[in-house]
Structure 1
């Protein structure tokens, strides 16, 4: 049994290990010791310095790693300036400098020579007026923009009328002739209003002029005359009244079943029966506004034309005659006045606006034709001519309607 053995390097081999193992270990250690030298591994210390100042150390036989970082300047601002190193220069330190005016170094406006004369900034006020009335003001030294708008009239209706200036209203006030001479052709609605009824009743005809029209049941009913039958009749018709006609014929019908003019217009089948449909249409459109009044109508015919007349009641629905349409006789008798009677003036609208005469349709007139006294009545031709045709022919019915107030 061996005792514990201490190797040269201080390692203790326990006694329990066998001799052979020991011998082998010892032999190997001797070889290692021969290689390393009798003194064993070195343990020198490395000292790391920065500009002579120790930063860290490291032992040659140290068992652990170690890092030593040396801060090396990367910018000039990391360095300390040596004696005499310049960091800035004052103007006074500069030598051999040229001569400058004082202002070059002072930067003061007061050190300038030959200074310009700066004009005085005034602050006057601009006053904007319209017709002597101030609208707004603006100061010359204002720091903000301003817009001043002057309203200038663009339409005559924007202006005030001078004394004596004529307007439609002033001309038409209580002026029936003016209402009959201004073909305004304004749309009046779909029925006679209370205001229009009052204007007819008072005979002021406010806002009613020839050419104006109502549209009722698809028919344009146009005013062709105003106050036409006022003070007419063996029984005086003293009511305000207007005459309207449809823009086109209402339907076609005969003057008589045969080619005869017996009884003239008064006794014709047209007046006694064939106008009934027109009466119904007008009654539906105007009702009680249809005016009953008295008119003179031709009632007999001889070889020369109408030979007599008489006063008759009219329910306001009648064919017009040539004078009312054209303003003169054409085919009607020129020798007698029986076919004119109380229908003796042209409807004013048709005198001023002949386009309302011609509808591109043929329609009947009251007059017995002088071309064929016994068989024909006057017509307005579809081509715009004044003509006549046989009484049994079916042509257009375009009556006139007398309306008054209710």
Structure 2
């Protein structure tokens, strides 16, 4: 009987099927299933390109659509874990690849920092990305630095900002992103840890300061774990918050057991840098360790 559209009464058809009501009920059932999957850490994410195809077509491309949604603070229908596949153009130090970017957080820093940030969506790669060319180690990995130091210098006291990792993110990876995507990215302004002393390498933070991390950046311990682990207590946290996409140990791997760098440097060491291990746990390696990959993120705003 579920597909009966009506009954014949004395030669007159009386309709009893409400297509709109059925569609609403069906959509509610789908969303309920998504919520169930998320609650047990099994939500696979949806392709934004497929799910919102009609809206995207009206805006021209998926990046313009995302930008318009964010500017209007319209996050309806967007879910943590939904994704867009981004084609990366080959460059001197970046091999051609397609990187699946997942929604990692929505408005995590809205109206925060020394200059209030506008609405934004943070995107996180579903897996560490590949490095190439002269900046690669062991084929597709990268050192955090070419020297075993996690300190800044007299000009730039924030270690991450002068790291080899961040230099690759800004000089090599950012230009390899599609131009339409680059046009809608905003810089991540953060209260960044400083570590510099004129007398020599420091093993703990010397302070913090407002800094632009740029339009492509690595995650901090706080954004991944929800707390400092090996980083300097206090100064390494700044204004960072935990990203909801990392809701379990397994979610740090996202299917690939590869160690990846964080932007946080290790406390108690003048050379260590924090990372997420291939086993999902918090760790740290010397800045010159060669078996770690980057996981560059961005904000669309």
TM-score (norm 1): 0.53
Match of 2:177, SS state, is helix
Which of 313, 324, 331 is equivalent to 2:230? 331
CA RMSD of aligned residues (A): 3.7
Task: Return closer, same or farther for 1:194/1:136 CA change in 2, 3 Å cut-off.
Answer: farther
Aligned pair 1:319/2:218, yes or no? yes
Task: Tell me which residue corresponds to 1:350.
Answer: 246
CA offsets 1:349-386 (integer angstroms, 9 cap, x no match): 112x553311311111122223x511110111112221
Q: Secondary structure at the match of 1:244?
A: strand
Give the 3-state SS of the residue equivalent to 2:205 in structure 1. Answer: strand
Q: Which residue of 2 aligns with 1:136?
A: 8
CA distance in 1, matches of 2:192, 2:232: 14
Aligned-partner SS, 1:379: strand
Matches within 5 A, 1:213-232: 213-217=83-87, 218-232=98-112
Instruction: Tell me which structure has the larger Cα radius of gyration.
Output: 1
Unaligned runs of 5+ in 1: 1-129, 140-147, 170-181
1:273–1:160 Cα change, 3 Å = closer
Q: Does 1:305 align with 2:204?
A: yes
Question: Distance in 2 between the 1:273 and 1:193 partners?
Answer: 23
Aligned residues: 245
Shift in Å, 1:284: 4.5
Give the distance between the partners of 1:340 and 1:283, measured in 2 at CA. Answer: 31
* 1:204 paired residue number: 74
- Between 1 and 2, higher relative CO (CA 8 Å, sep ≥ 6) is seen in 2
Q: How far has the Cα of 1:138 moved from its partner?
A: 8.2
Which residue, 266, 275, 299 being the options, matches 1:369? 266
How far apart in 1 are the matches of 2:23 and 2:167? 56
**Match for residue 391 of structure 1?**
287
Q: Which position in structure 2 is the counterpart of 1:254?
A: 143
Shift of 1:197: 2.7
Give the equivalent residue in structure 2 for 1:188: 48
User: Do the aligned residues in 2 keep the contact of 1:196 with 1:205 (CA within 8 Å)?
Assistant: no
| 1:251-302 superposed Cα distances (whole Å, 9 cap, x missing partner) | 3211111111111323323224455322223354712111025221112157
Distance 1:194 1:368 in 2: 35
Aligned match of 1:124 = none
